[in-house]
A and B are shown apart, each in its own frame.
Chain A
Amino acid sequence: MSYLAIVLASVFSANALLVYGFGICPAFRKERRGVWPQIVALAIVNLLASGLFWLVRRFILVPLKLDILDVIVYAVIIAPVIKYLARFIASASSSFLVRVGAAADEAVMSCLTFGVALIVTRADYGLGEAVIASLGSCVGYWAAVIVLDSIRERLELSAVPPAFRGAPGLLISAGLMAMAFLGIDSALVHNLAR
């Protein structure tokens, strides 16, 4: 599978937010201060989690036929290691790095990071493909979140019934977006990237 096909599939036909619902709870939060530190943090955490998880699974768990224990390995080894790195980044003197570290610390325990790591390691990918897929998922997630944020701003100015203002209206809008993403199926993506 070409890298372009993997990226297109991760962004569109297997979008982390709109197809799997990963990271949906933070995506619907109204307060979003400083998007760039969050994007950088998610990219770093996704990259590290998927890469480390792939290495541990491929070279330790699968040869020992202990792959069913991958969730415990993630919880006991990989998440603490990345959390430690996130806190190390957060101890830097630059305010941008402090915010990246704080966002990374939060992202380690999110379903987005663990879900993407599980998908890319359980798929028949090599290390490079797994890393590209996890970065593609991060791009797809943020693309969907930024579009949803702009929809939220439009909804606040529109005549929406009071009960459907905020999260309910946004969930329905996310459904319409997900419906549009249904049209971009994986076979089409593979043919485009051939």
Chain B
Amino acid sequence: MERKNAPFLPDPVTGSLIGLCPIIAVTGNFGAGVMMAVGVLISMLVLGATLPALRSLFPERLRAPVAFALAASLSAGYALAAGAYSPSLASLVGIFIPLTIVNCLVLTTLRRGIRGDEPFASWLLPSTFLYFGIIIAISAFREAIGLGRLTLPVPGEVPMTLVLFDAAPMRLLAAPAGGFMLLGCLAGLYRIVLRKGGRRIP
């Protein structure tokens, strides 16, 4: 079978291993994971829509600071909205909402958008939605198998919890240590799938 280097790795988490810090720390809780994923999704999509306009509005020296300030404003606005929607879930996500601005995936979007790399949209959309989906899938798996419950991202002071098992089946999975191990296993499986298709991580 001919092996070739993958020219484009659409999966940012298990392939390129970027934007991992919120996945380790936040995805032990499904509600917090969804809140985090929506924050990154909004930031990425708004930045993706506005960065081409910024390129034509500002001179080259000002583009990076303006784009970074825009990302920070989005993150501050989302922190306020998340706190109003569900204070307890927002406190679980904690500093990881403001940290969206230095998420490696968001920074990559900023760099590509500022430089005007083509094709920007065809890179941005699959990466954003894959990242969104993976955060949600990992957080559902970690809380369901780790703690035997699912915290639903519903509005209000107290989040609604769906109990799946009487006892926590594998508490370690909800801890950061479990997050590292799960990501390692997923990254290994992704490489196995790529190898079966005759591709390798460059």
Contacts and interface: CB of A to CB of B under 8 A. Distances in A.
Given A72-B76, A111-B21, A167-B17, A178 B184 contact: no
A12 to B, nearest CB: 13
A179 B191 contact: no
A82 to B, nearest CB: 13
A79 B22 CA distance: 21
B103 A171 contact: no
B72 A76 contact: yes
Max chain B Cβ within 10 angstroms of own Cβ: one of A25, A79, A164: A25
Contacts of A28: 17
B76 A20 contact: no
B183 interface: yes
- Give the size category of B's interface with A: 35 or more
A70 interface: yes
Contacts of B104: 25, 111
Contacts of B183: 171
A114 B184 contact: no
Contacts of B172: 179
Interface in A103-145: 109-111, 113-115, 118-119, 122
B98 interface: yes
A72 B72 contact: yes
A114 B102 contact: yes
Q: Is the interface of B mostly helix, strand, loop or mixed?
A: helix
A175 B69 contact: no
Contact of A111 (B99, B177, B187): B99
Max chain B Cβ within 10 angstroms of own Cβ: one of A162, A171, A182: A171
Given A68-B76, A179-B177, A118 B98 contact: yes
B184 A75 contact: no
Contacts of B184: 164, 167-175
Max chain A Cβ within 10 angstroms of own Cβ: one of B65, B175, B181: B181
B124 interface: no
Nearest to A121: B95
Contacts of A64: none
B75 A20 contact: no
Interface string B13-40: 0000111111111000000000000000
B95 A25 contact: no
Contact of A68 (B23, B79, B176): B79
Interface of A: 18-25, 28, 68-72, 74-76, 79-80, 109-111, 113-115, 118-119, 122, 161-164, 167-176, 178-179, 181-182
